[in-house]
Amino acid sequence: MATTTRAQKEALPFRRVTPTRRGQRPAVALGRLNGHLGYFVRRAQIWIFQDFIRTLARIDISPAQFSVLIVIGANHGLSQIEIAAALGIERARLVRLLHRLESRALIRRLPSSADRRRHALQLTPHGRTVLALAKTLAARHEKRLINKLGAEHHQFLLDTLRDF
């Protein structure tokens, strides 16, 4: 918003400011980019993550941390490799994510009964409390998305993007 005056300031009046859809985009042609879904998916992802991060800023939970906490909370003693596979992240990266969550006392790594190579992951009581709050804030974020897109479009996006 309020970025619509950029062009006028420049050399001479010859730079026509086309009134773009939301007054956000400058008068620069995107050419073939307009037909490429990847470009718009990327921009949408950035927008959504920024809103998510802002909404959960006071409990300092990132989208990645949120997804890990949700999956640990919704399952029973998962191993790290199972979580990594479910969320499509590298197991090496998950190690660092879990270190942080463990150092904040949100999760615990218990020895797995069956296989001593594995850890069985759990939320701590404090982790459950924080996750509950995170869910409330995340729902607020999602409501903002629903308002922006309309409930049907939101649901359609959810259904369609699940295929990836």
Partner DNA sequence: TATTGTTATACTCTATAACTATA
Partner DNA sequence: TATAGTTATAGAGTATAACAATA
* Interaction site with a copy of itself (CB under 8 A): 1, 3, 6, 9-12, 21-22, 25-26, 28-49, 52, 63, 67, 70-71, 73-76, 78, 82-83, 85-86, 88, 114-115, 135, 138, 141-142, 145, 148-149, 153-154, 156-158, 160-164
CB distance 55 to 137 below 8 Å:
yes
CB count, 10 Å around CB of 133? 14
Q: Is residue 95 part of the contact set for DNA (CB under 7 A)?
A: yes
Q: Is residue 36 part of the contact set for DNA (CB under 7 A)?
A: no
The nearer residue to DNA, 22 or 116, going by C-beta atoms, is 116
Find the angle CA(11)-CA(14)-CA(18) to the nearest 5 degrees: 115
Which one of DNA, a copy of itself, none is in contact with 75 (Cβ closer than 5 to 8 A by kind)? a copy of itself
CB distance 16 to 26 below 8 Å:
no
Site string for DNA, 117-136 (x = CB under 7 A): xxx-----------------
**Residue 93 CA neighbour count, 13 Å, CB half:** 10
Q: Is residue 116 part of the contact set for DNA (CB under 7 A)?
A: yes
- Which secondary-structure segment (H or E) carries 97? helix 91-103
Task: Give me the residues paired with residue 120 across strands.
Answer: 110
CB of 133 to DNA, least distance (A): 19
